[in-house]
Homo-oligomer: A and B are copies of this chain.
């Protein structure tokens, strides 16, 4: 391994002038005061030329050169016509003279993105421009997904950005009803742009002081909303609901069998988990009625497990199930958990947001009795993906369960209060900053447009009940309203109306939703999910979590289903 002579690299500078900036006079900037704090707008120009302070004084001295506080003074860059065809990534910062191309490139990207944002909310724009995988792989009008061996120009990179959005799906479109997470929140978006720019890691206070404190304060607020006294307890933001739920299982196991941490699973008896038959995990499945678990069946299963020599450990109560939006009866489940000394977890990934609502939080009654709660603001609350919290009632148990006491990662002899370091509580080392967008949205909104969502799903129920063409599953089976913003229904084409129930009708009806969905995606007008479940053949699952959706969009969806499915 050669230790060659120092060579100047692309981004290198003369070491002797390392603390000086080259004169910026060659750039065309409009130096302006972009801050609106109290003072209002004003212009504040300065030059950094001839900054030749000695080394020790250079940082303290900087303020002397500035006629206003450095932190408040933002430059408003002028977006100029730039030829990107001869510019490459290597011409951007940290390259010498890279500042101007960098700013112009970023402003060009922002043009693309703001145009996309504008069109996303424009109902004359398609939700998607569908192509099959093989079509996109073959290349669409010059959009080549393959990675070549030659670097592309910035012009091509910008084209790639445009094409990536063009062939994608507008999940923020008012007529996108396909997923539990939808919508494009502008405050959340701004928060994500800032988060990417800060590009740090929730690992320690040292490298993410502000974000770590925001997470701590926000988790405390969430715990207060759960109803744990004084908002005490613990928690973390994790990459998603599945991982938050995994944390809950790990903590429960640690609570009852801490030696599993060092000795492995052989240190515990055969542990058993219980959850609703409407949930994904293959554990002990509890029967349900109205899609809510039946507490008596839970107790019977616990007794059965014990009789077989297993060790019941953990009960999951779902607050907002994926398909039907059902809420398990938490208080009744908590009674059983107390009786048998089991860990109670509430999976509120989807429904947790209702804790923010005075009107609807009763659906999670008893949640304060849970040992842990999963709550995904990226679902019901419209926070950009990813944003999921695991909240724990017992303080310290997250660290107890997950800490490895790795001195090379967490130093106890740092100058600040290291209890603020979060890394030793997490199963991750690098942990993305998911808190800022949520914190910012909370600051900006507080009450989260909650009424709108419910209003919309009730409208849909009305629509469905009035029309013979759609059959609402809740009404067919139990004559009840949906518990959440999930509305599940069959579209019945004229050819099936009046046909007696039986295998033939079931088989035909099973094929209706996939056919309509395929045509819907081809035409790109709207998107809604479908699935079979249990004995029920394919049905549509409409979900309203997008704050851009209005009654007219729901009418549009029903009309579009009818337009596409009428002749099936």
State the CA gap A62–B2 with chains docked (Å).
62
Known contacts A169-B208, A181-B201, A548-B94: A444-B89 contact under CB 8 Å: yes
Known contacts A116-B197, A239-B243, A242-B427: A12-B408 contact under CB 8 Å: no
Pick the contact of A92 from B81, B187, B378 — CB < 8 Å?
B187
Does any Cβ of B come within 8 Å of A532's Cβ? Answer: yes
State the CA gap A149–B225 with chains docked (Å).
13
Does any Cβ of B come within 8 Å of A496's Cβ? Answer: no
Does any Cβ of B come within 8 Å of A103's Cβ? Answer: yes
Known contacts A122-B21, A164-B194: A1-B207 contact under CB 8 Å: no
Does any Cβ of B come within 8 Å of A550's Cβ? Answer: yes
Q: Is the CB of B169 within 8 A of A551?
A: no
State the CA gap A195–B523 with chains docked (Å).
24
Q: Is the CB of B556 within 8 A of A210?
A: no
Encoded as 1 (CB less than 8 Å from any B CB) or 0, chain A from 215 to 232 comes to 001100100000000000
Tell me which residues from 322 to 366 in chain A have a Cβ below 8 Å from any Cβ of chain B.
322-323
Does any Cβ of B come within 8 Å of A49's Cβ? Answer: no
Does any Cβ of B come within 8 Å of A376's Cβ? Answer: yes
A514 contact set on B, CB distance < 8 A: 411, 413-415
A47 contact set on B, CB distance < 8 A: none
Q: Would you list the 5 A-B pairs with minimal beta carbon distance, nearest first?
A: A15-B552, A192-B196, A415-B518, A94-B548, A239-B239
Q: Is the CB of B89 within 8 A of A201?
A: no
Q: Nearest B residue to A482 by beta-carbon distance?
A: B1
Other A-B pairs beyond A3-B461, A161-B194, A241-B430, 15, CB < 8 Å: A1-B454, A12-B552, A13-B550, A15-B555, A41-B81, A77-B111, A107-B110, A109-B194, A110-B193, A116-B197, A136-B210, A151-B446, A157-B440, A239-B432, A242-B428
Residue picked from A85, A116, A149, A201, most chain B C-beta under 10 Å: A201
A198 contact set on B, CB distance < 8 A: 116, 164-165, 168, 171
A211 contact set on B, CB distance < 8 A: 164, 168
